[in-house]
Amino acid sequence: MSSDLAIESAGGERMRINMGPHHPATHGVLRLIVECDGEIVSSATPDHGYLHRSIEKIGECVEWPMFVPYTDRVDYVCAMNANLAYCVAVEKLLATDKTTAVQVPRRAEVIRVIVAELNRISSHLVAVGAMSMDLGAYTPFLHGIAQREGVNDIFEKLCGQRLTYNYITIGGVGFDLHTGAVEEIESFLAQFEKEMIRFNKLITTNTIFRDRCAGIAVISAAEAVAYGLVGPNLRGSGVDWDIRRDEPYGIYGELGVRVPVGQGYAGRTGKVGDCYDRFIVRLLEINESVRLIRAALKLLPPAAEKPADPVGGFQADVAKALRKPPKGEIRVRTEAPRGEMGYVIVSDGTKTPYRVRCRTGSFTACSIFNKLMKGIFLADIVTVIGSFDIVVPEIDR
């Protein structure tokens, strides 16, 4: 719709605006150098690095389990999933040698899925809430944040933290579920589903909201794949791909993950792969996560006496394996809320990693910005950024 308005002014005179690194809509310290002709954007170049904390370099200097807290900082909006990605990768690395392979206890695997999906819910709540706030609706954002508090309360009882959990460890989880955790999670989910219906009535089906997202920044499936989009951004373009289902890790294979994809949900004005599709895919994934948590709670085996019990324990003994892990390399990817979180780990057989590489969804999402932000309105920039669910520490690491 707006692309036909992208007419340059007679003199070709452009205005250059600095959006960020501190701007209300850039979700942290992302900087966009926007060139625009009045309200119409002719280019928007992202400038990264304002939150670069050398996490990959740090990874070469700390021992294997000591890197887990740093993964929290890679993506603090979904720290559980970030923990999980690294721990699964190290476990897969250890599994390449029979002498070091560790068997994660069954109970720990189930707990991992529960906390990862809970964190996916809270991460998506931030995403959809922040997007509605970017479009000027503040109340839905606070309602989303209020629900996120419920997740944080559960996590606080579980591991003492509300943001950077450092809960999932190599070979299991840090602590067993606290007393009454199952009931807490179930009662949270019950009220959460009702709240989400209210949330959706408030913002998702709002005509103004829909009209602002529909048909904006349409990404075709081929483009989405070529630009390395992952997770909900990829599925919003109609690509049916979810690592939890297609390359299952942990117990995801038993749960039968169902994957929503973009279908032009906005109706008449919507196209597959527009901002509204990405938004709706996140909401549908929230519902799916609720279902997965309920399914996982049913699979939860009773706790055993010994922590390292292969069924009812929560933490396998990995100390020996991590002192002398196999030499070599591994690449493992997991599905975080912002899409594929892949670790490339090179080990030289010592107790510190040789190279830790973290591939995140937000980083590649930024690579398509300049292409998308041509001929749209200045106001649409925030819609696009919001629809990609950018988390800046994940870009810069």
String of contacts with another protein for each residue 321-350, x by CB under 8 A: -----xxxxxx-x------x-x-x-xxxx-
Q: How many residues does the chain have?
A: 397
**Segment lying near another protein (by CB under 8 A), choices 148-156, 171-179, 198-206, 302-310:** 198-206
Q: Which residues contact 210 (CB under 8 A, 6 or more apart)?
A: 266, 267, 269, 270, 276
Place of tokens 């709540």: 125
CA distance 200 to 287: 12
CA distance linking residue 210 with residue 214, whole number of Å = 6
Q: Does 205 bind another protein (CB under 8 A)?
A: yes
CB of 61 to another protein, least distance (A): 7
Closest separation between CB of residue 74 and another protein, Å?
14
378 binds another protein (CB under 8 A): yes
Among 163, 180, 240, 320, binds another protein (CB under 8 A): 240
The whole-angstrom separation of Cα 131 and Cα 40 is 21
- Pairwise CA distance, residues 394 & 75, whole Å: 5
Minimum Å gap between C-beta 261 and another protein is 6
Among 81, 152, 164, 204, binds another protein (CB under 8 A): 204
Stretch that binds another protein, among 68-76, 179-187, 240-248, 301-309 (CB under 8 A): 240-248
DSSP helix/strand/coil, 126: helix
CB of 283 to another protein, least distance (A): 6
DSSP per-residue codes, 12-29: ---EEEEE-SS-TTSTTT
Q: Does 283 bind another protein (CB under 8 A)?
A: yes
- Which residue, 26 or 315, has its beta carbon nearer to another protein? 26
Alpha carbon 224 to chain centroid distance?
Answer: 17
DSSP one-letter string for 152-165:
HHHHHHHHS-SS--
Q: Does 139 bind another protein (CB under 8 A)?
A: yes
Interactions with another protein, residue window 11-70 (CB under 8 A): 15-19, 23-25, 33, 38-39, 47-49, 52, 54, 56-57, 60-61
- The amino acid present at 6, given as its one-letter code, is A
Pick from 29, 181, 225, 297 the residue near another protein by CB under 8 A: 225
Helix 138-159 × helix 106-134 angle, to 10°:
160
372 binds another protein (CB under 8 A): no
From 142, 55, 149, select the one nearest 353 (Cα to Cα).
55
- Given a contact cutoff of 8 angstroms between Cβ atoms, the answer to whether 367 and 53 are in contact is no
Residues numbered 141 to 160 that lie near another protein (CB under 8 A) are 142-143, 146
Tell which positions 72-131 bind another protein, by CB under 8 A.
93, 96-97
- Give the count of beta carbons closer than 10 Å to the beta carbon of residue 2: 15
C-beta of 297: minimal distance to another protein in Å?
A: 18
Residue number with CB closer to another protein (103 or 352)? 352
